């Protein structure tokens, strides 16, 4: 992708697009990456989030700062939402519903902002299920941008099914452990019972919580077009099926691998310097990088088995560990007694923020033990790091099934009912993927797919396709008036 200069664009075809992601970094970052790619084509972006989140976003490339305006909007206070919690990473899972309640109170401020700015398009996330009708009333076109892949969306069903209005709506956790009848081809994509049990409250909802499934259904129902963080190269059969299920245009926007930007202060970054010095000393392809995203926190039992499994492998490791799921989390998990002392010569456990992209790009990394969050998967493919999968929340199980089908990732064996696993299964899985002959398929496949899935020219093609759709749609709307 050419990020050195923005091409000239005629005033008539210049778009103003407003971006409104959910308050999770796994959502905000892909929205920001898409914003950058759109701005590279000369279009204007207004990117909205809460005050604290805007301050925590990565710095914009200098050449795009005049085209992307970051707008801070105060998050309303809600009872039971801890002070200063503005993103899912600030909260344990059971308190995220209060963040959604606060987010829902942004409806009026967003409507006012839309009236003042009159963008050509609004691109919004699943959480503001109320935004589609607001935008339509103002005569503005809208796209629901899903950071969930097409496979996940297909599995969850039509807007009517998601909103509980269809006769085929699923009501029991067991209903989600088999592929639904509307998938016409063979697939192993389904939840395991422990995976759906962990998130079932977000399927059914409660007195305090509008379920995520309803939000997705209403967001799809209220938009003009659906954009998906995926590609036909990755999901050739799922994307056309999704268009059929939704009955409206579905446009993949590519995988959105992070665009490298100039880091003026990289050489002075003491934390990265220390990490790099350690990585430089390790043999090529020998290090296991372990990270489970900004939201997942293993239980104490899970943490113990992961740690002792890593110790068993004998491999060097770098572990980005969240001991607490948030500042307000009172249940801090602890590493096994003596673990850090026993592994200090070959392992690093980092409990602060870690530069994941830089670590994954280092030649010493030979495998990535991950929760299979989509952003982490894309980054692993970008740097050709084979995947060992250990899922915790949301659609991670569905992503893992698809990666398994494609031989891009290997899941640590677990008990289907409770999700438990052993240190032996952790050690065996890491060894299999990183060095054993049986795991060569995963090492070969991740190298093979990089050019297919995260190629810069392919990425540009998808963004241009989306922008062409937006431009033609705007012309048709103007002509109709």
**387 and 353 within one domain:** yes
Residue 332 has pLDDT above 90, yes or no: no
Residue 3 lies in a domain: no
pLDDT value of position 327:
53
Q: What is the mean pLDDT of residues 169-187?
A: 91
Residue 330 has pLDDT above 50, yes or no: yes
Residue 253 lies in a domain: yes
Q: 16-29 pLDDT, tens per residue?
A: 999 999 999 999 99
Where in the sequence is the domain holding 476, given as residue range(s)? 11-257+455-480
The least confident of 31-40, 279-288, 384-393, 470-479 is: 470-479
pLDDT value of position 209:
78
Residue 2 lies in a domain: no
Residue 202 has pLDDT above 60, yes or no: yes
**474 and 356 within one domain:** no
Residue 5 lies in a domain: no
Q: What is the mean pLDDT of residues 211-222?
A: 94
**230 and 129 within one domain:** yes
Neighbours of 465 (CB within 10 A): 14
**274 and 225 within one domain:** no
Residue 3 has pLDDT above 70, yes or no: no
**234 and 297 within one domain:** no
**462 and 432 within one domain:** no
**Burial grade of 11 (CB within 10 A; 0-12, 13-18, 19 or more):** exposed
CA distance 168 to 191: 17
Residue 318 has pLDDT above 50, yes or no: yes
Residue 6 lies in a domain: no
**127 and 158 within one domain:** yes
Helix (H), strand (E), coil (C) string for 35-53: HHHHHHCCCEEEEEEEHHH
Q: How many domains does the chain have?
A: 2
**190 and 150 within one domain:** yes
CA distance 122 to 207: 30
Q: State pTM to two decimals.
A: 0.90
- Please state, in angstroms and as integers, the Cα–Cα distance from residue 453 to each residue in 87, 140, 256, 310, 458, following that order: 29, 32, 10, 30, 8
Q: What percent of the chain has pLDDT over 90?
A: 72
**124 and 205 within one domain:** yes
Residue 93 lies in a domain: yes
Residue 405 lies in a domain: yes
Neighbours of 283 (CB within 10 A): 11
**275 and 233 within one domain:** no
* CATH code where residue 366 lies: 3.40.50.2000
**447 and 460 within one domain:** no
**397 and 426 within one domain:** yes
């Amino acid at each position: 992708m050419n990020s050195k200069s923005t091409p000239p664009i005629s005033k008539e075809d210049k778009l103003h697009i407003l971006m409104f992601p959910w308050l999770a970094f796994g959502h905000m970052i892909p929205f920001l990456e898409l914003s950058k790619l759109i701005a590279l084509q000369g279009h204007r972006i207004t990117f909205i989030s809460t005050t604290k989140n805007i301050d925590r976003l990565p710095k914009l490339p200098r050449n795009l700062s005049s085209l992307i305006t970051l707008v801070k909007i105060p998050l309303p206070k809600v009872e039971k939402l801890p002070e200063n919690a503005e993103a899912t990473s600030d909260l344990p899972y059971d308190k995220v519903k209060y963040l959604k309640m606060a987010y829902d109170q942004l409806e009026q401020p967003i409507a006012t902002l839309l009236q003042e700015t009159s963008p050509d398009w609004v691109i919004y996330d699943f959480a503001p299920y109320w935004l589609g009708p607001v935008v339509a009333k103002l005569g503005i076109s809208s796209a629901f941008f899903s950071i969930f892949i097409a496979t996940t969306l297909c599995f969850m069903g039509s807007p009517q099914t998601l909103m509980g209005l269809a006769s085929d709506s699923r009501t029991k956790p067991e209903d989600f452990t088999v592929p639904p009848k509307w998938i016409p081809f063979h697939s192993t994509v389904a939840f395991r019972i422990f995976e759906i049990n962990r998130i079932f409250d977000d399927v059914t909802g409660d007195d305090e919580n509008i379920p995520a499934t309803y939000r997705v259904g209403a967001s799809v129902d209220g938009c003009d077009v659906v954009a998906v963080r995926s590609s036909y190269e990755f999901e050739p059969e799922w994307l056309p099926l999704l268009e059929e299920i939704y009955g409206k245009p579905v446009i993949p926007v590519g995988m959105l691998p992070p665009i490298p930007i100039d880091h003026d202060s990289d050489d002075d970054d003491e934390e990265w310097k220390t990490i790099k010095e350690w990585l430089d000393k390790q043999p090529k392809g020998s290090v296991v990088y372990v990270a489970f995203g900004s939201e997942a926190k293993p239980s104490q039992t899970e943490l113990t088995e992961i740690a002792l499994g890593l110790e068993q492998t004998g491999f060097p490791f770098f572990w980005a560990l969240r001991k607490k799921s948030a500042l307000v989390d009172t249940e801090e998990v602890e590493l096994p007694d003596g673990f850090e002392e026993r592994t200090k010569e070959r392992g690093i456990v980092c409990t602060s923020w870690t530069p994941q992209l830089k670590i994954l790009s280092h030649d010493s990394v030979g495998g990535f033990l991950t929760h299979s969050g989509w952003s982490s998967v894309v980054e692993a493919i970008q740097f050709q790091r084979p995947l060992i999968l250990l899922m915790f929340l949301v659609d991670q199980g569905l992503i893992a099934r698809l990666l398994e089908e494609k031989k891009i990732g290997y899941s640590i064996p677990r008990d289907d009912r409770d999700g438990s696993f052993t240190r032996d299964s952790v050690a065996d899985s890491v060894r299999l993927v990183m060095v054993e002959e049986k795991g060569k398929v995963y090492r070969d496949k991740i190298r093979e797919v990089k050019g297919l899935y995260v190629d810069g020219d392919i990425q540009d093609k998808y963004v241009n396709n989306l922008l062409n759709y937006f431009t033609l749609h705007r012309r048709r709307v103007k002509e109709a008036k």
